[in-house]
């Protein structure tokens, strides 16, 4: 997204800025004042993050009001980076800086050699530039090869070759932290920094300045630092040095959604569904099952819980299940795209890269994922379906009935099953809802049959997404 153009009525020189009675504020003062106004107006800190309204967000608001540097602890896929990026909205919309300054010098209190000389030379005629808040955020993914030059700065050999002396402050090339002056600096996966680089951040978090190697230069920075880390790396046995941990004012633990309804809401908010020539309708039980797969995976002893099971798993699974249903609909020319239980087999491809296994070979991952899906289907069926017609349906199968299902069969095949098996018709319509289309009825039929199989009332012969449901007595 492009940066908005600054309003034309803003002062363009230091003298005009003084005359406008502009009062400079620190980053923390800006954030505190804007957050106070937002809270007084009854507005949330951010509307983009769901499930944290009563847990994480109140802690984050308190930390911001206190003016703290913050570290968010949580496994992957817990919206840590999204929350950090949302903090930019708490900054003032426009900020005046000395024109041409690399580190966003305050015209009233410049700190770089360039800006100090310019203000001394031009005085009230010092030219200004107005910076939009969207450009006052810098982000760095920590890695073992991150250097002090990346974060703090180094002597620029090109500037030296141009005639500057090595000890000339103008010969410096600033890193991300100084360039984040008067803004927010975010560093993800903080423990992945080498220890010697972590030491280099101590001054930034406490004394609020940076020292660049080989130079007697100190820059009094105004920067808020927000970091993320995996809790396992943040313990005493982790890779973060104790003095750096001590510098952060607030430590906030994030979490995965506690409720299925929250996970479903996130899926719907974040999923990017394919374009379809016909309507896309996702039955309530498919929503439940897709979200539930992530929840059962987070409790599985087979899956590494220290790595976590990201909410991105639910989003990707939701997208792939709908896409598989769309693929079928384009071939069968049904009137709507409606995912079924048989479409859940496509989740293997979207799940494999998002979970890590603790005690098994990855070659068995397909079976583990299929078992997670089956557990989710069984739980959903047991919790939400009261099937009074169950005995009659089972009895129908005992009279030689067989039902084929699959992710390539048209809706009309399932409607024919309902017509031939009246005991299945009423529960399918009840589960699908009073205004269900043919695709929703077909999906409800599969859900009932799979539920009866998983509760050991029917037998099933399966091959991929194809299945044959039959009596257990045959």
Considering the domain boundaries, does residue 6 fall inside one? no
Considering the domain boundaries, does residue 168 fall inside one? yes
Task: Give the CA-trace dihedral at 353, 354, 356, 361, to 10 degrees.
Answer: -30
Considering the domain boundaries, does residue 3 fall inside one? no
Q: Does 151 share its domain with 292?
A: no
Strands 153-155 and 137-141: unpaired
What would the mean pLDDT of 197-225 be, rounded to a whole number? 80
DSSP 406: -
Q: Does 237 share its domain with 336?
A: no
Q: Does 209 share its domain with 332?
A: no
Strands 459-463 and 466-470: antiparallel
Residue 278 has pLDDT above 60, yes or no: yes
Q: Does 166 share its domain with 100?
A: yes
Residue 408: how many other CB atoms lie within 10 Å: 12
What would the mean pLDDT of 265-283 be, rounded to a whole number? 95
Q: Output the domain CATH number for residue 142.
A: 3.40.50.300
Considering the domain boundaries, does residue 177 fall inside one? yes
Structure tokens at 52: 């944290």
End position of a domain, from candidates 253, 282, 307: 253
CA distances to 115, 318, 355, 365 from 302, rounded to whole Å, are 58, 23, 10, 10
Considering the domain boundaries, does residue 9 fall inside one? no
Structure tokens at 164: 């500057």
Q: Does 274 share its domain with 329?
A: yes
Model pLDDT, residue 304? 87
Q: Does 289 share its domain with 233?
A: no
What's the CA angle centered on 323, arms 320 and 326, to 5 degrees? 155
Q: Is there a contact between 339 and 309 (Cβ–Cβ < 8 Å)?
A: no
Model pLDDT, residue 1? 56
Q: Does 44 share its domain with 179?
A: yes
End position of a domain, from candidates 253, 277, 312: 253
What are the tens digits of pLDDT across the range 116-153? 999 999 999 999 999 999 999 999 999 888 988 888 88
In the chain, how many domains are there?
Answer: 2
Q: Does 310 share its domain with 190?
A: no
Q: Does 45 share its domain with 187?
A: yes
Q: Is there a contact between 221 and 205 (Cβ–Cβ < 8 Å)?
A: no
Could you give the CA distance from residue 32 to residue 151 in angstroms, rounded to a whole number?
Answer: 26
Q: Give kind and range of the element (H or E) at residue 291.
A: helix 284-297
Could you give the CA distance from residue 378 to residue 410 in angstroms, rounded to a whole number?
Answer: 25
Classify 143 as helix, strand or coil.
Answer: coil
Could you give the CA distance from residue 341 to residue 352 in angstroms, rounded to a whole number?
Answer: 19
End position of a domain, from candidates 234, 253, 272: 253
Q: Does 416 share its domain with 380?
A: yes
Model pLDDT, residue 259? 96
Could you give the CA distance from residue 213 to residue 154 in angstroms, rounded to a whole number?
Answer: 7
Q: Is there a contact between 184 and 159 (Cβ–Cβ < 8 Å)?
A: no
What are the tens digits of pLDDT across the range 63-113? 999 999 999 999 999 999 999 999 999 999 999 999 999 999 999 999 988
Structure tokens at 425: 């018709």
Which residue in this structure is represented by tokens 């031009």? 122
Q: Is there a contact between 185 and 207 (Cβ–Cβ < 8 Å)?
A: no
What are the tens digits of pLDDT across the range 293-343? 999 999 999 998 888 899 999 999 999 999 999 999 999 999 999 999 999
Q: Does 228 share its domain with 267?
A: no
Considering the domain boundaries, does residue 152 fall inside one? yes
Q: What is the domain range of residue 386?
A: 260-470
Least Cα distance to 458 among 426, 423, 411, 410 occurs for 423
**Mean per-residue pLDDT of the chain:** 91
Q: Give 396's contacts (C-beta < 8 A, 6+ positions apart).
A: 421, 423, 424
Residue 220 has pLDDT above 70, yes or no: yes
Considering the domain boundaries, does residue 5 fall inside one? no
Q: Give kind and range of the element (H or E) at residue 174.
A: strand 172-174
Q: Is there a contact between 238 and 57 (Cβ–Cβ < 8 Å)?
A: no
Considering the domain boundaries, does residue 415 fall inside one? yes
Q: Does 248 share its domain with 264?
A: no
Residue 213 has pLDDT above 70, yes or no: no
């Amino acid at each position: 997204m492009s940066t908005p153009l600054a309003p034309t009525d803003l002062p363009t020189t230091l003298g005009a800025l003084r005359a406008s009675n502009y009062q400079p504020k620190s980053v923390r003062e800006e954030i505190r004042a804007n957050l106070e106004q937002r809270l007084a107006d009854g507005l949330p800190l951010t509307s983009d993050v769901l499930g944290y309204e009563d847990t994480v967000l109140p802690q984050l608001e308190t930390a911001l009001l206190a003016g703290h540097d913050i570290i968010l602890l949580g496994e992957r896929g817990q919206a840590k980076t999204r929350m950090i990026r949302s903090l930019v909205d708490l900054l003032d919309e426009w900020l005046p800086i000395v024109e041409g300054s690399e580190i966003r010098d305050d015209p009233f209190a410049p700190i770089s050699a360039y800006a100090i000389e310019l203000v001394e030379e031009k005085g009230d005629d010092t030219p200004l530039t107005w910076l939009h808040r969207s450009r006052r955020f810098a982000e760095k993914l920590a890695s073992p090869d991150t250097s002090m030059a990346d974060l703090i700065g180094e002597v620029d050999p090109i500037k030296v070759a141009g005639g500057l002396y090595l000890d000339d402050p103008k010969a410096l090339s600033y890193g991300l932290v100084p360039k984040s002056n008067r803004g927010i600096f975010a560093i993800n996966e903080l423990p992945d920094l080498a220890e010697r680089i972590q030491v280099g951040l101590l001054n930034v978090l406490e004394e609020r300045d940076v020292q660049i190697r080989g130079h007697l230069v100190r820059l009094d920075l105004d920067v808020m630092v927000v970091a993320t880390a995996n809790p396992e790396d943040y313990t005493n046995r982790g890779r973060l040095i104790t003095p750096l941990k001590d510098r952060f004012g607030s430590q906030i633990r994030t979490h995965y959604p506690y409720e299925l309804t929250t996970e479903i809401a996130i899926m719907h908010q974040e999923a990017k569904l394919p374009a379809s020539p016909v309507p896309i309708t996702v039955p309530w039980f498919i929503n439940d099952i897709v979200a539930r797969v992530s929840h059962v995976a987070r409790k599985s002893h087979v899956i590494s819980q220290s790595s976590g099971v990201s909410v991105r798993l639910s989003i990707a699974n939701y997208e792939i299940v709908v896409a598989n249903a769309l693929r079928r609909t384009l071939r069968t020319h049904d009137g709507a795209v409606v995912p079924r239980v048989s479409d859940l087999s496509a989740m293997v491809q979207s799940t494999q890269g998002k979970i890590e296994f603790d005690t098994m070979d990855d070659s068995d991952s397909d079976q583990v994922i299929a078992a997670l899906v089956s557990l989710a289907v069984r739980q959903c069926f047991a919790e939400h379906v009261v099937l009074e017609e169950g005995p009659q349906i089972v009895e129908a199968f005992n009279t030689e009935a067989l039902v084929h299902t699959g992710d390539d069969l048209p809706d009309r095949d399932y409607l024919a099953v309902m017509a031939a098996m009246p005991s299945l018709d009423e529960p399918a319509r009840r589960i699908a809802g009073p205004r269900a289309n043919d695709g929703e009825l077909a999906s409800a039929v599969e859900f009932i049959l799979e539920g009866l199989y998983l509760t050991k009332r029917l037998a099933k012969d399966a091959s991929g997404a194809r299945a044959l449901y039959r009596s257990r007595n045959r």
